[in-house]
Structure 1
């Protein structure tokens, strides 16, 4: 599935560069639009289900923009989260967000457990240098949750 490939690409790109190119969330939107049009035409999805997915994704988009404004996530993360949430739709939205938060928490914990941080904590030294400038790529967490959505959709 194109969506799965795009989120893996986004996660990998963010892991390596701490950025997500705008083209990736835009491509996810295009893939969703194509899937939605095809599914609607084939009668595989009802219009109200698509509308609920758009409404839920709009709410996630608003929360993502607020998180970006507060410095919690980067702009690419916010766009990737919003675009990926379309595939979760309303039925899987809370699970998608919970898996994203759990995976992000694990990434954050791993970032805290760097050798410099462990040495600072264990050696009684100043831990501030280990914390300074440390950023966490959240794209892999969003990608992992998105792949979980793909698995749930494939199983239904």
Structure 2
């Protein structure tokens, strides 16, 4: 039995908000992954009881543990790690594998789009150029940052749609 349409709409809205915040600010406030996690545990409980909550917790902890390595190496932000782990609370073990693969594929697309838009800012309309310059100032010239929460959102929704 899958999640109700209302639960999936709530998840989609929270993930869209996290992705939009990440695009705009290159960070995700802690409240968003906390809301995603809390809603996921409630949705799992309503969907399948204690066993589903337990499976969701295992999936969330596994994804969090897996992503600690890239986070510690500076390859991803802490907000992205928290969004991924909290989104995994909504999933079962088989869906978590689909989530990780779909997020990785979407991450390649988001990375290429981010790189392309950053390069286009040199000849872009003023609004896009201003956004890119603000982004460059926020990252302190440390290189291109990728709003990976967008890819995580796409991966989570893809995994839940497979069911």
Query: Does TM, normalized by the shorter one, top 0.5?
Result: yes
Distance in 2 separating the partners of 1:4 and 1:115: 27
Give 2:32's match in structure 1, choosing from 12, 24, 30. Answer: 24
What are the within-5 Å matches in structure 2 for residues 100-111 of structure 1? 100-111=103-114
Q: CA RMSD in A?
A: 2.2
Q: 1:116 to 1:30 in 2, by over 3 A?
A: closer
What are the within-5 Å matches in structure 2 for residues 53-92 of structure 1? 53-92=56-95
Gapped regions of structure 2 (runs ≥ 5): 1-8, 123-140
C-alpha distance after superposition, 1:70-108 (max 9, x if no partner): 111101000000000111221211110011000111111
What's the offset of the Cα at 1:151? 2.4
Taking structure 1 as the reference length, the TM-score comes to: 0.77
Distance in 2 separating the partners of 1:50 and 1:64: 21
Structure 2 residue 53 is the aligned partner of structure 1 residue 50: yes
Give yes or no for contact 1:57–1:83 (8 Å, CA) kept in 2: yes
Structure label with greater radius of gyration: 1
The DSSP-based 3-state class of the residue aligned with 2:89 is helix
What are the within-5 Å matches in structure 2 for residues 101-140 of structure 1? 101-114=104-117, 116=119, 133-140=143-150
In the other structure, the counterpart of 2:155 is: 145
What's the offset of the Cα at 1:144? 1.0
What's the offset of the Cα at 1:111? 2.9
Q: 1:132 to 1:25 in 2, by over 3 A?
A: closer
Distance in 2 separating the partners of 1:145 and 1:116: 26
Give yes or no for contact 2:41–2:53 (8 Å, CA) kept in 1: no
What's the offset of the Cα at 1:3? 1.2
Q: 1:136 to 1:38 in 2, by over 3 A?
A: same
What's the offset of the Cα at 1:110? 2.3
